[in-house]
Amino acid sequence: MKKQKKSQIQIGETIAVLFVFFILVTIGFIFYAKVIKGNIELEKDELSQLRSVGVAQRVMFMPEVQCSEDNVIIDNCIDILKLEAAKSLISEKELYYYDLLEFSDIKILQIYPEEAEWEIYSRKIDNFRNKFLTNVPISLYNPATRKHSFGVLAIETLSR
């Protein structure tokens, strides 16, 4: 009778130890899952940022709007006269430009001498997760007057 009681106590102890052990394992697993989830969110954010930088760089070096003189490309410059043609080309070949510019809104704002605005691409989504606005100062060249004005290339990228 005494021996049976002792083994019952031992079984109880083992069950208690196993119970505590599984609680600890569960807490550890929950913590690990949270950390991993946080890291995935972080990687998603970084990926969105990289995509936004990629789109900004693609727009800055788009031959459709870039200035050139005697077939030599001028960096950091947009030809105002090319803008209208580029706009209609972009709306015509929507799919091709979607591959390049994804979900974004691209505007060119003239700051000086006068204020002006051109929208060259716009494809937005309502249920976006991240929204990045990148402003790049850019020279706006008017080939008719051969003068440069001060502008900003405003690139808003959206990601799900």
Partner 1 sequence: MPNRKSQMEILGLAIVVVLILVATIFVVRFLVIKAPTNYRKGFISAELASNMLNTFLKTAAKDCSQLTMTELVQDCAQGRTIICENGQESCAYVELTAKSIFGQTLDKWNTDYEFLAYTDINSPLIKTGKRCPAEKRSKLFPIPISAATVYAKLDICG
Shortest distance, position 103 Cβ to partner 1, whole Å: 16
User: What distance in Å separates the CA atoms of residue 141 and residue 135, rounded to the nearest whole number?
Assistant: 18
Q: Taking the complex as a whole, how short is the minimal distance between the CB of residue 88 and partner 1, in angstroms?
A: 26
Question: What dihedral angle (degrees, nearest 10) is formed by the CA atoms of 141, 147, 151, 156?
Answer: -10
Among 111, 119, 128, 129, binds partner 1 (CB under 8 A): 111
Please work out, in degrees rounded to the nearest 5, the angle formed at the alpha carbon of residue 65 by the alpha carbons of 59 and 71.
115
* 122 counts as binding partner 1 under rule CB under 8 A: no
Q: Which of residues 28-87 bind partner 1 (CB under 8 A)?
A: 32, 35, 38-39, 42, 45-46, 49-50, 52-53, 56, 76-77
Q: What is the largest CA-CA distance in the chain?
A: 110
**Nearest CB to partner 1, comparing residues 100 and 152:** 152
Size of the residue set binding partner 1 (CB under 8 A): 32
Interaction of residue 17 with partner 1, rule CB under 8 A: no
Round to whole Å and give the CA distance between 55 and 64: 15
For 109, other C-beta atoms within 10 Å of its C-beta total 17
Hey, what are 44's tokens? Answer: 């998603």
Amino acid at residue number 7? S
Nearer to partner 1, 53 or 89 (CB): 53
Interface residues with partner 1 (CB under 8 A)? 32, 35, 38-39, 42, 45-46, 49-50, 52-53, 56, 76-77, 111-114, 132, 134-139, 145, 147-152
